[in-house]
Amino acid sequence: MALNTLLATFLCTIVLPVLLFLVALKLWEVYLLRGRDPGCPRPLPPGSMGLPFLGETLQLILQRRRFLRMKRQKYGYIYRTHLFGNPTVRVMGADNVKQILTGEHRLVSVQWPASVRTILGSETLSSVHGSQHKSKKKAIMRAFSREALELYVPVIQEEVRAAVQDWLSRDACVLVYPDVKRLMFRIAMRVLLGFEAEQIRTQEQQLVEAFEEMIRNLFSLPIDVPFSGLYRGLKARNFIHSKIEENIKKKLQDCENSSRPRDALQQLIDSSCKNGEPLSMQAIKESATELLFGGHETTASTATSLVMFLGLNPDAVNRLRLELLEKEEQGMDPQNLTMEWLEQLKYTSCVIKETLRLNPPVPGGFRVALKTFELNGYQIPKGWNVIYSICDTHDVAEIFPHKEEFQPERFLSKHCSDSARFQYIPFGGGSRMCVGKEFAKVLLKIFLVELVSKSHWTLLNGPPTMKTGPTVYPVDNLPTKFMSYN
C-alpha cells in the first residue's frame, strides 16, 4: 500500500508535470510552424522554438554570444528560433546576407523588436519606410557630409584630448568602457544634437544615467508593467526626451537662421521648415534619441575595443606611431587635425577596420519577410522576422585567413578590400547601411591619434570577456593604467 502511494505521488509530482511540459513544448512548436507556406516546396530552416510564449529570448539575453555560437555550431548558417515574441530566422554568411541586404522592400523590410520600436519610437530613421525614409536620410546625410565633418573635427579633438589628459593624470586605473561612453556621449551631444559644452556639463550625470537605463532595457520582453524592463526603459526615455525638447525649442526658434554650422538634428528641423511639412515635437525627439544612440553607443564600443586590441598588440601601436611621425615630417600638425590629413592615415584606417571585423559593435540587423521566399534551400515564411548576423558573417568569411588574430595589415591588401563586400559588413549594407559610418571613422581616427601620440597603456586584467547588450563591451570595463608617452 505504501509502495503504491509512493508510486502515485512520484507520478503526480514528477512524471506527469514533465510529460505535460513536453506536450506543451510540442504543441507550441506545432502552433508556430503552422506559419509554413504550403505553396513553397522548400522546408523550414532547422532549429528550435524554445519555451511557450518566451521562445529563446531569455537564453539570448543571458548568454548572448555563447548562445549564438552554440546555435551556429548546431544548425549552420541559417536556422529558426523564436525571439522577442516572434518566430525568427537567423542568417549569416556572405551569400545569404547579400540576399537579405539587397532584398529591402522586395523580400524584406526593416523591423526591430517591439521593445526597440516602443522605446526609440516609430518616427526614427531605422523604422520609417519609403519616401519618408528617403527624405529623412537625405537630411541626416547632409550633417555627415565631408564639409560638415570638417567642422566637427576640432570639437571632437578637444573632447578626446581632454579625456586622454584626464586618464594620464590619474594615479589609479581607468575603467575604460564607462569613461569612453561618457566621452562619446559628450561628443554626440555637441556635434550631433548641438548642445553647448556648458549645457552638457550641468546635465551630464543625469542624462548619462538615464541613457544607460534606456539602453539596458532596449531589448526586453514587450511587457509594459511596473518594474518590467520595458517600463524602466520608457521611463528613462521620457526623461531624455524632456531634456532634448528644451534644446529643440531653441533650434525651432532659430529655424530661419542658416548662417551657423548645422548639426544633424538641425538638418532635420531645417528640412521640415523648407518643405513646409509640420514635424511634430515627438518625431524630432525620437530622431534626436536615435542619433544619440547611434552616435555614441557604437563608437564607445569600438573605441574600447581599440584600447583592448592595441593593449594586447604593442607592435601595432608602434606602427601607428610610425605613421603619425611620417605625416608630421610631411607637415601634419597633430595638434590641429584636418579631414585631409586624417584621410591619409592608411594604417590607422586598417586598425579600425580590423577592430570592427573582430568586434563589430552591433551584432546584426532586424528585418521582416514581406513574402515567402527561398534562401539557400530553405523557405522563409511571410511575416517571420529575419536577423542577419554581422559577427557570425565575419567569423565565417573566407577572405580572412587566421581570422582569430589581430592583423590590421590584412586590409592593406587590395584583394582583401575588393573582395570584402558582404563578407565584411560592420555598418550593414544596402539602402539601410549606417548613415553615420563616415562620422564614426573620423571620430575613431581622432581618438587613435590622440591616444597613441600622448600615452602608452597596460591592460591590468589582460584579455577581457566580451558580452553584448546591445553593443559589444568588456564585462570588467577594461581596467587600464595610462602613462605619458613623451
Answer yes or no: is 434 a known binding residue.
yes
Question: What average pLDDT does the segment 462-481 reach?
Answer: 91
Better-scored residue on pLDDT, 18 or 52: 52
pLDDT, residue 259, reads 53
Distance CA 65, CA 315 (A): 29
pLDDT the model gives residue 231 = 92
Residue 55 and residue 83 in contact, taking contact as beta carbons nearer than 8 Å: yes
* Confidence (pLDDT) at 52: 78
Residue 10 lies in a domain: no
Which cell numbers hold the place of 133?
Answer: 525614409
State the maximum Cα–Cα separation within the chain, in Å, rounded to a whole number: 97
Mean pLDDT along residues 195-207: 80
Locate 284 and state its grid cell. 524630432
- The per-residue pLDDT for range 101-152, each reduced to its tens digit, is 999 889 999 888 888 888 888 878 877 777 777 877 887 888 888 988 998 9
Q: Cα(361)–Cα(365) distance, rounded to whole angstroms?
A: 12
How does pLDDT run across 61-97, given as a tens digit for each residue?
Answer: 777 778 888 899 999 999 999 988 889 999 999 999 9
Exposed/middle/buried for 253, CB within 10 Å: 0-12, 13-18, 19+? Answer: exposed
Q: Is the bond leading into 154 cis (omega within 30 degrees of zero)?
A: no
- Which of 229-238, 354-363, 410-419, 475-484 shows the lowest mean pLDDT across its residues? 410-419
Distance CA 445, CA 156 (A): 10
CB contact set of 247 (below 8 Å; sequence gap of 6+)? 193, 194, 195, 199
User: Quick check: is 14 in a domain?
Assistant: no
Statement: residue 370 has pLDDT above 60: yes
Nearest to 471 by CA among 336, 359, 367: 359
User: pLDDT tier at 295 (50, 70, 90 boundaries)?
Assistant: confident
In this model, does residue 25 exceed pLDDT 90?
Answer: no
Q: What is the pLDDT of residues 255-278, one digit of tens each?
A: 555 555 567 788 777 766 666 666
Q: What separation in angstroms does the CA of 292 have from each of 104, 154, 195?
A: 25, 19, 12
Distance between CA 393 and CA 291 in Å, rounded? 26
Considering only CA atoms, which of 235, 238, 120, 245 is closest in space to residue 193?
245
Quickly tell me which residue has 549645457 as its cell: 199
153 versus 117: which is more confidently predicted?
A: 153
What number is the average pLDDT over the span 51-63? 79
Distance CA(442)–CA(450), nearest Å, equals 13
CB-based burial label for 410 (10 Å; 0-12, 13-18, 19+): buried
Backbone phi and psi for residue 313, each to the nearest 5 degrees, phi listed first: -135, 75
Query: Which residues, 6+ apart, have CB-to-CB distance to 379 below 8 Å?
Result: 36, 37, 40, 42, 43, 44, 372, 373
pLDDT band at 8 (very low <50, low <70, confident <90, very high): low
Query: Is residue 399 included in any domain, yes or no?
Result: yes
Q: What is the number of domains present in the chain?
A: 1
Using H for helix, E for strand and C for coil, what is the string for 153-171?
HHHHHHHHHHHHHHHHHCC
441 in the Ramachandran plot: left (φ > 0), alpha (ψ -120 to 50) or beta?
alpha
> Given this model, what pLDDT does residue 285 score?
86
**What mean pLDDT is reported for the chain?**
86
Query: DSSP assignment of 100-165, as one string?
Result: HHTTBTTTEEE---HHHHHHH-TTSTTT--HHHHHHHHHHHHHTTSHHHHHHHHHHHHHHHHHHHH
pLDDT tens readout for residues 401-451: 999 999 999 999 876 665 678 999 999 988 888 888 999 999 999 999 999
Percent of the chain predicted with pLDDT > 90 = 47
Task: Name the residue among 180, 185, 235 with its Cα closest to residue 205.
Answer: 185
Nearest to 375 by CA among 82, 40, 85: 40
Tell whether the model's pLDDT for residue 28 goes beyond 80. no
Q: Which amino acid is at 55?
A: G
Report d(CA 236, CA 328) in Å as an integer: 46
Whether 337 is covered by a domain: the verdict is yes
**Per the confidence metrics, is the pTM higher than 0.75?**
yes
- Percent of the chain at pLDDT > 70 equals 88
Residue 22 resides in a domain: no
- pLDDT band (50, 70, 90) for residue 321: very high
Residue 197 banded pLDDT, cuts 50, 70, 90: confident
Decide if 404 is inside a domain.
yes
11 domain-assigned: no
Secondary structure letter of residue 221 according to DSSP? -
Do residues 369 and 107 make contact, with C-beta atoms less than 8 angstroms apart?
A: yes
pLDDT bracket for residue 341 (50, 70, 90) = very high
Give me 78's grid cell.
Answer: 541559417
In a domain, 5, yes or no: no
In order of 33, 100, 124, 174, 419, the CA distances from 128 in angstroms are: 29, 18, 6, 40, 31
- In this structure, the dihedral spanned by the alpha carbons of residues 371, 374, 380 and 385, taken in order and rounded to 10 degrees, is -70
End-to-end CA separation in angstroms for the chain: 87
- Residue 79: the pLDDT is 96
Q: In angstroms, rounded to a whole number, what is the distance separating the alpha carbons of residues 176 and 174?
A: 6
Structural domain span for residue 59: 35-484
Q: What's 405's domain CATH number?
A: 1.10.630.10
